[in-house]
Amino acid sequence: MNSRSTAQALGWFSIGLGLAEVLAPRKMARATGLKNRSGPMPFLGIREITSGIGILASKDPSPWLWSRVVGDVMDLAVLGGASLSKSKNGKRLAVASAMVAGVTAIDYLCSRDMSSKENRNGKNGATANQSLFRTITINKSAKLLYEAWRSFEIFPTIIPNLKSVTATGPTTQHWVAAGPGDVDVEWDAEIVEDRPGDRISWRSLPGATVPNTGTVQFEELPHDRGTVVRLRMDYDPPGGGLGAKLAKLFGKAPEQQANEFLRKFKQLIETGEIATTVGQPAGRKLSYSPKFDVAARKMAEAH
């Protein structure tokens, strides 16, 4: 995909579609099977025109491309709702849904690629950089917590949507996570500071879809009162500041995932298991995988 050319084509497509929805809302409603729902068409058209102008006029079109992705999802929701209402225009709705789904895939791939390229070229860092800080106290030694964090093979069991972490060298790893639309997101990272029992710092390598850096620090409290774990991450979300706000809206922001990760990390270290109620009315505890069991044994032995 030539992402720059594709972005320009999507910009013109967005303007053309928007003009049709504003100037001929009833015809557009009939064509898509939404015969009795032409009222929202002009508003959808204004949204399309705004996105199109933003894509064509902006030096960094990625935020506007991501706005198209969100708009596509909204359109699919409207079409899906009409289909569930047992409309007589079922065939038209099905065709329209298939076409919107296809455009959504193109919008997403182009948005992801443009975000990655803009970030690699340093165009988003000054304005789109996001930071998060999280702290949690875990009733274990700093030495054990450091060794647990350094055992990257346990991360897929406690990080939402993370599929695998593979060591590619003494200080480098390859990460694979599940992205939107069943499209995997992959990146490479390296450890840049490693102080046993104290702290670990890392950064993503060039080409990452979401460039990021981070540090975790372990501060052991006196009198066997556990260890304070301080996590800091800096990252550039896809779509810049707009992408960060949309992620929060849909519950996928790194801040929210960091909270869940630290909570599960605490459970894993303190109990050797992660509590879950998924499919279990009694809330029994569950071990996730052989890798999880091996890692838990290693940590227990180290402790």
The model carries a pTM of 0.51
Q: What is the mean pLDDT of residues 131-136?
A: 89
> Quick check: 51 pLDDT over 60?
yes
Q: With contact defined as beta carbons under 8 Å apart, do 252 and 244 qualify?
A: no
Q: How confident is residue 288, by pLDDT bands cut at 50, 70 and 90? A: very low
Residue 229 pLDDT greater than 90, yes or no: yes
The domain 128-302 is placed in CATH, from the list 3.40.50.300, 3.30.530.20, 1.10.150.120, 3.30.1490.20, at 3.30.530.20
d(CA 202, CA 233): 9
Q: Which of 26-30, 170-174, 193-197, 264-268 has the lowest mean pLDDT?
A: 26-30
Mean predicted lDDT score pLDDT of the chain? 75
CB-count burial class (<10 Å; 0-12, 13-18, 19+) for 14: buried
What's the pLDDT tens digit per position in 191-220?
999 999 999 999 999 877 778 889 999 999
Mean pLDDT of 166-191: 84
Which amino acid, one-letter code, is at 72? D
List alpha helices for the chain, DSSP H: 3-23, 25-32, 41-57, 62-84, 90-120, 125-128, 142-150, 155-158, 240-249, 254-271, 290-302
pLDDT category of residue 257 using cuts at 50, 70 and 90: confident
Lowest mean per-residue pLDDT among 165-169, 182-186, 227-231: 182-186
